[in-house]
C-alpha cells in the first residue's frame, strides 16, 4: 500500500493516475492532512509500504516574504513524515529540487556536491532533506517540472503564445526540463525495484529529462512543436532577454543542470531527451 501525500499537485496527480492504471493499492491525501502536525499523520492507520511526499511550499518568490510557512511545509513537514514512516515501518520517498544549489557550477551537479542555496525556497528544501536522510529515506531531486496538472512553464507559454504577438524569455538561466509523467514512472520503478530486493540504498538521486538548455530554448521548442501539433493557433515571436530584464523577488540559479548518472546506473534507466518528452506531452494536449 502506498500513501501519496500531496496527491492534488502536479506530480501527485500523475502518480495517482499511474498507480490507478497499474492496479496498485494507494491512498492519496492533500490539504486534509496537515503535514506540519505529526498528530494528523498518525490518524492514517493503514499499514503502508511506502509514503511518497509530493507536498510542499513551491511559490519561490512568495517564500522570500513567507519564510515561516515555507519552513513549516518544507522542513517540518518532511521531518514529520519521515518520522511517521520510520515508526510505522514504511519506506519514504521525498521530492526535492535543483534550487538546493546556487547555480555557480558550469557542469552538472552531482548528488554529493555541496548544497549552497541562494533563496528561502532552496534553503528550506535543503534543510528538509536532512530529516529524510537521517531516517534512511529516499530523495529524488528534480527540476523545471511540467505536466498536465497545475501551473507550469509549458502551460503558461502556450497560453501567452496564443494571446500575444511576442513573448520575452530569459536566455541566461540553464537547466533541464522534466515531464511529470516521466518522473512518476521513475518513482514507480524505484519503489518496485526496492520492494523486489534490488540493491538500492536510501539517499539522494537526481532525475530530469536529458539535456541542459535555457528557458529561451525551452520556449522556442514549445512554440515550434505547438504550431506543428496545432496546439498553438497563431504566430508569436519568441525574444531572448537577460535575467536582469525580468527581475523577480527570489534569485534563480543561473545553472542548475543535474547529473542523472547515478539513477541511470542504479535502475538501468534510459532517460528520454527533453524534446521527446515535450513532444509527448504536447501530443497529449493536442488530442492526437
Catalytic residues: 121
Burial class (CB in 10 A: 0-12, 13-18, 19+), 111: middle
**Cβ–Cβ under 8 Å, residues 219 and 158:** no
Look up residue 281 and give its three cell numbers: 506531452
| Residue found by looking up cell 552538472 in the block | 108
Cα distance between residue 170 and residue 202, in whole Å: 36
For the record, the C-alpha cell of 257 comes out as 543542470
Q: Which residues contact 35 (CB under 8 A, 6 or more apart)?
A: 5, 41, 53, 55, 73, 76, 77, 78, 80, 81
Amino acid at each position: 500500500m502506498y500513501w501519496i501525500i500531496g496527491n492534488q499537485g502536479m506530480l501527485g496527480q500523475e502518480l495517482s493516475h499511474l498507480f490507478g492504471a497499474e492496479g496498485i493499492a494507494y491512498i492519496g491525501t492533500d490539504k486534509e492532512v496537515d503535514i506540519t502536525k505529526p498528530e494528523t499523520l498518525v490518524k492514517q492507520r493503514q499499514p503502508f509500504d511506502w509514503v511518497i511526499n509530493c507536498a510542499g511550499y513551491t511559490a519561490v518568490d512568495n517564500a522570500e516574504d513567507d519564510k515561516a510557512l515555507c519552513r513549516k511545509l518544507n522542513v517540518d513537514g518532511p521531518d514529520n513524515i519521515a518520522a511517521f514512516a520510520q515508526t510505522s515501518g514504511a519506506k519514504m520517498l521525498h521530492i526535492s529540487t535543483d534550487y538546493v544549489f546556487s547555480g555557480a557550477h558550469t557542469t552538472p551537479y552531482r548528488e554529493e556536491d555541496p548544497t549552497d542555496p541562494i533563496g528561502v525556497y532552496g534553503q528550506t528544501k535543503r534543510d528538509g532533506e536532512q530529516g529524510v536522510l537521517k531516517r534512511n529515506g529516499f530523495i529524488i531531486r528534480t527540476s523545471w517540472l511540467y505536466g498536465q496538472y497545475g501551473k507550469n512553464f509549458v502551460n503558461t507559454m502556450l497560453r501567452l503564445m496564443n494571446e500575444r504577438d511576442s513573448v520575452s524569455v530569459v536566455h541566461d538561466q540553464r537547466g533541464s526540463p522534466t515531464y511529470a509523467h516521466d518522473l512518476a514512472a521513475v518513482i514507480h520503478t524505484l519503489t518496485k525495484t526496492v520492494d523486489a530486493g534490488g540493491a538500492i540504498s536510501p539517499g539522494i538521486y537526481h532525475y530530469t529529462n536529458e539535456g541542459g538548455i535555457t528557458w529561451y530554448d525551452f520556449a522556442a521548442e514549445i512554440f515550434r512543436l505547438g504550431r506543428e501539433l496545432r496546439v498553438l493557433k497563431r504566430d508569436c515571436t519568441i525574444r531572448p532577454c537577460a535575467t536582469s530584464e525580468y527581475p523577480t523577488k527570489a534569485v534563480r540559479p543561473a545553472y542548475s543542470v543535474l547529473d542523472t548518472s547515478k539513477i541511470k546506473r542504479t535502475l538501468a534507466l534510459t532517460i528520454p531527451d527533453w524534446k521527446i518528452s515535450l513532444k509527448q506531452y504536447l501530443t497529449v494536449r493536442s488530442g492526437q
